Amino acid sequence: MQIDMHYYGTFAMARAGGFTNAQAQIIANAAQFIDDNAVQADIKIDKDGCWTAIATAHHSVDIENLSFADQRKVWVPFHFIPGNVGDKLTARLRCIKDSPIANAMMANNIQVSQRRQDEFGLYLLGVSAHVYADTFSHYGFSGVGSKGNLVAQDSIEFAEYAKKTNDWLSNKLKNFDYLASMVPRWSEIIQGKLAETIQADSSLGHGGVATFPDQPYLKWRFEYEEEGYGEAKTDWRDNQATFLEYCQKIHSYFAQCNNKQNIIAWEKLEPAVRAILAFEGSDIERSAQWQLRAENGQLYGFSEKIPDYNAEEWNQETALLTPASLEQFKQSNIFKFQQAAQYHLYFVGQILLPKYNIFVV
């Protein structure tokens, strides 16, 4: 999913799930920051202290994507939590929509967030919402470089859309086909890590289908390139239906956090959410739809603004905290986000996945 869901959709569902505006903003910021926190950094504390902030994402065509260790610590736990379906480990690492593992992660992290309300609890809810959301868009792909993620480029099909959307999809696919066709040529011309990174990109996660899993309105299908890794042709993937399912379920989880107090019923939210997800446009235009329907009262039943997401705010905070005083650091958003992210990484990698005999993180 993209910013329209990870920030604006998460904010709306948290607000409707009983959180205050300020609490919902922290949850939504943490959910989106998973995608924006792409650099590991050592933060100096006072004179002699030092604390390491981990990365929770890498950008496309990033050298770190080549590292299997990095894939295991970034893509698997934060973006493609394994679904544990199949015999081989490569199959079991594939993300599965709303999987038992994803729900076990949510149940645990909600309990921890409630015990840590005054510390990193809200930030952990945001981290968890991001990971859970991605199971509804990234299903069928894994967070490690694998032949099982490769897609036959001429097999990708779309339902019919408005001309503007059809043109965008057509151009996206043409550009994507061209880039895929150039990979062998680049490998001959470009020596070293860049060529390897370009080639590896389509075998990592949903790199083989670009951002098609992230478009809420899209209905599409494809064929895996390698036999034995998937169906000859996948069923139609109805992103709108699966994104709607996610909104309903994360709203229920948020309501659970607040003992179903001060919540807006899903039945009241659903018509506006359906309309937002059906909107055909860019991530910026889709984000504006969440804000528009919140402000005009169609979403909640009353008018309230969803604040803009500031992509650089927490990253800049990291720079401002170097060096930092101990108390300044402990009260910072970046510290609390990192506490949440590092707890999640520990729980998923060292506690949850080993229960299913998955040792990868």
Query: Quick one: tokens of 169?
Result: 């999809």
Beta-carbon contacts of residue 148 (< 8 Å; ≥ 6 apart) = 90, 91, 94, 142, 224, 226, 229, 230
CB 312 within 8 A of CB 34: no
Q: Which domain holds residue 159?
A: 147-212
Q: Would residue 224 count as lying in a domain?
A: no
The pairing of strands 237-238 and 157-158 is: unpaired
User: 198-202, 206-210, 302-306: lowest mean pLDDT where?
Assistant: 198-202
Looking at the structure, do residues 164 and 280 belong to the same domain, yes or no?
A: no
Name which residue leads in pLDDT, 141 or 46: 141
Global pTM value: 0.91
Mean pLDDT calculated for residue range 146-174:
86
Looking at the structure, do residues 259 and 182 belong to the same domain, yes or no?
A: no
- What confidence score (pLDDT) does residue 183 get? 45
For the segment 46-104, what is each residue's pLDDT rounded down to a tens digit?
878 888 999 999 865 454 545 677 889 999 999 999 999 999 999 999 999 999 999 99
Name which residue leads in pLDDT, 160 or 31: 31
For the segment 256-271, what is each residue's pLDDT rounded down to a tens digit?
999 888 999 999 999 9
- Asked if the model's pLDDT at residue 43 lies above 90, the reply is no
Nearest to 52 by CA among 346, 327, 318: 318
Residues 5, 9, 13, 19: is their CA dihedral positive or negative?
positive
Looking at the structure, do residues 86 and 202 belong to the same domain, yes or no?
A: no
Looking at the structure, do residues 132 and 91 belong to the same domain, yes or no?
A: yes
* Separation of alpha carbons 141 and 67, rounded Å: 18
Looking at the structure, do residues 163 and 19 belong to the same domain, yes or no?
A: no
- Asked if the model's pLDDT at residue 194 lies above 80, the reply is no
Beta-bridge mates of residue 50: 44
Looking at the structure, do residues 267 and 314 belong to the same domain, yes or no?
A: yes
Looking at the structure, do residues 121 and 185 belong to the same domain, yes or no?
A: no
- What confidence score (pLDDT) does residue 175 get? 72
Phi-psi region of 155 (alpha: psi -120 to 50; beta: other; left: phi over 0): alpha
For the chain, percent of residues with pLDDT exceeding 70: 88
Looking at the structure, do residues 140 and 157 belong to the same domain, yes or no?
A: no
Name which residue leads in pLDDT, 60 or 299: 299
Q: Would residue 317 count as lying in a domain?
A: yes
Query: Total structural domains in the chain?
Result: 2
- For 147, phi then psi, to 5°, come to -60, -25
State the Cα angle at 286 between 281 and 288, rounded to 5°: 125
Query: Quick one: tokens of 293?
Result: 């329907």
- What confidence score (pLDDT) does residue 359 get? 95
- Asked if the model's pLDDT at residue 323 lies above 90, the reply is no
Looking at the structure, do residues 23 and 94 belong to the same domain, yes or no?
A: yes
- Asked if the model's pLDDT at residue 301 lies above 60, the reply is yes
Residue where one domain finishes, among candidates 177, 212, 247: 212
Q: Would residue 113 count as lying in a domain?
A: yes
- What confidence score (pLDDT) does residue 46 get? 81
- Asked if the model's pLDDT at residue 124 lies above 50, the reply is yes
CB 142 within 8 A of CB 94: yes
Looking at the structure, do residues 75 and 111 belong to the same domain, yes or no?
A: yes
Looking at the structure, do residues 109 and 160 belong to the same domain, yes or no?
A: no
Q: Would residue 192 count as lying in a domain?
A: yes
For the chain, give the mean pLDDT.
88
Q: How far is CA 233 from the centre of its chain?
A: 25
What's 236's DSSP letter? P
What's 151's DSSP letter? B
Mean pLDDT calculated for residue range 116-137:
97
Q: Would residue 222 count as lying in a domain?
A: no
- What confidence score (pLDDT) does residue 186 get? 37
Residue with tokens 């039943």: 301
For the segment 226-251, what is each residue's pLDDT rounded down to a tens digit?
876 555 578 899 999 999 999 999 99
- Asked if the model's pLDDT at residue 1 lies above 60, the reply is yes
Q: Would residue 225 count as lying in a domain?
A: no
Name which residue leads in pLDDT, 349 or 235: 349
Q: How many CB atoms lie within 10 A of CB 108?
A: 17
Query: Quick one: tokens of 27?
Result: 């949850």
Looking at the structure, do residues 294 and 155 belong to the same domain, yes or no?
A: no
- What confidence score (pLDDT) does residue 78 get? 98
Q: Would residue 166 count as lying in a domain?
A: yes
Q: Would residue 217 count as lying in a domain?
A: no
Quickly state the pLDDT bin for 305 (edges 50, 70, 90).
very high
Q: What's the distance, Cα to Cα, between the start and end of the chain in Å?
A: 22
